[in-house]
Structure 1
Amino acid sequence: MSSRDPFQSFTWHSDIFSCQSNDISSFYARLEEQASRLGLQARKLGDAGPHPLELYQSPAQKADQPSILISAGFHGEEAAGPWGLLYFLNELEPELFGQINLSLLPLVNPTGFKRGHRFNKLGQNPNRGFVLENGRGRSNQDTSSEGEILLAHSQLLAAASKDGILTCHEDVLLTDTYIYSFEANQHPGQFSRELRDALGHYFPIAQDGLIDDCPVQDGIIFNHFDLSFEAFLVRLGASVGVCSETPGQQSFDQRILANAAIIKRFVELTLAKR
Structure 2
Amino acid sequence: MNSRSPFETFRWHSEIFACYSNDIEQFERQLLQETTRLRLKPRVLGHIDGWPLQLWQSPSARAGLPSVLISSGFHGEEAAGPWGMLHFMSELSEALFDQVNLTLLPLANPTGFSKGHRFNRFGDNPNRGYLSVGDGAQPSVEGKLLLAHGQLLQAASRDGILTCHEDVLSQQTYLYAFEPRQQPGAFSHGLLSALANYFPITEAPAIDGCPVQEGIIFNHFDSSFEAWLVRSGAKNGACSETPAKANFDRRILANSAVMQQFITALCA
Structure-1 residue corresponding to 2:170 = 174
CA distance in 2, matches of 1:91, 1:270: 18
CA distance in 2, matches of 1:141, 1:242: 21
Q: Which runs of 5+ in 1 are unaligned?
A: 134-139
- Matching of residues 199-218 of structure 1 within 5 Å: 199-218=195-214
1:165/1:240 contact within 8 Å kept:
yes
Q: CA deviation at 1:2?
A: 4.0
Structure-2 residue corresponding to 1:41 = 41
SS of 1:269's equivalent? helix
CA distance in 1, matches of 2:58, 2:111: 26
Q: Which amino acid aligns with 2:229?
A: L
SS of 2:113's equivalent? helix
1:170/1:246 contact within 8 Å kept:
yes
Assess, with a 3 A threshold, how the Cα gap between structure 1 residues 42 and 132 changes in structure 2: closer, same or farther. farther
CA distance in 2, matches of 1:197, 1:225: 23
CA distance in 1, matches of 2:265, 2:190: 9
Q: CA deviation at 1:166?
A: 0.2
Q: Which amino acid aligns with 2:218?
A: F
CA distance in 1, matches of 2:137, 2:4: 21
4+ long deviations beyond 6 Å: none
Q: CA deviation at 1:48?
A: 1.8
Q: CA deviation at 1:244?
A: 0.3
- Matching of residues 62-73 of structure 1 within 5 Å: 62-73=62-73
CA distance in 2, matches of 1:60, 1:129: 32
CA distance in 2, matches of 1:53, 1:208: 35
Identity of aligned residues (%): 59
SS of 2:206's equivalent? strand
1:69/1:164 contact within 8 Å kept:
yes
Structure-2 residue corresponding to 1:13 = 13
1:132/1:232 contact within 8 Å kept:
no
Is 2:246 aligned against 1:234? Answer: no
259, 265, 271: which one aligns with 2:261: 265
1:166/1:266 contact within 8 Å kept:
yes
Q: Deviations over 1:127-153 (max 9, x none)?
A: 0000269xxxxxx75210000000000
Is 2:237 aligned against 1:224? Answer: no
- Matching of residues 89-168 of structure 1 within 5 Å: 89-131=89-131, 142-168=138-164
Q: Which amino acid aligns with 1:203?
A: F
Q: Which amino acid aligns with 1:149?
A: L
CA distance in 2, matches of 1:185, 1:16: 39
Assess, with a 3 A threshold, how the Cα gap between structure 1 residues 20 and 57 changes in structure 2: closer, same or farther. same
SS of 1:131's equivalent? coil
Q: Which runs of 5+ in 2 are unaligned?
A: none
Q: Deviations over 1:101-160 (max 9, x none)?
A: 000000000000000010000000000000269xxxxxx752100000000000000000
2:137/2:223 contact within 8 Å kept:
no
CA distance in 2, matches of 1:2, 1:255: 20
CA distance in 2, matches of 1:216, 1:250: 21
- Matching of residues 188-203 of structure 1 within 5 Å: 188-203=184-199
Is 2:48 aligned against 1:52? Answer: no
SS of 2:95's equivalent? helix
Q: CA deviation at 1:210?
A: 1.0
Structure-1 residue corresponding to 2:179 = 183
SS of 2:75's equivalent? coil
Q: Deviations over 1:44-94 (max 9, x none)?
A: 001122201001001111121000000000000000000000000001001
CA distance in 2, matches of 1:215, 1:81: 24
SS of 1:103's equivalent? strand
Q: Which amino acid aligns with 2:121?
A: K
1:72/1:81 contact within 8 Å kept:
yes
CA distance in 2, matches of 1:25, 1:173: 27
Matched positions, count: 266
Q: CA deviation at 1:216?
A: 0.9
Q: Which amino acid aligns with 1:249?
A: K
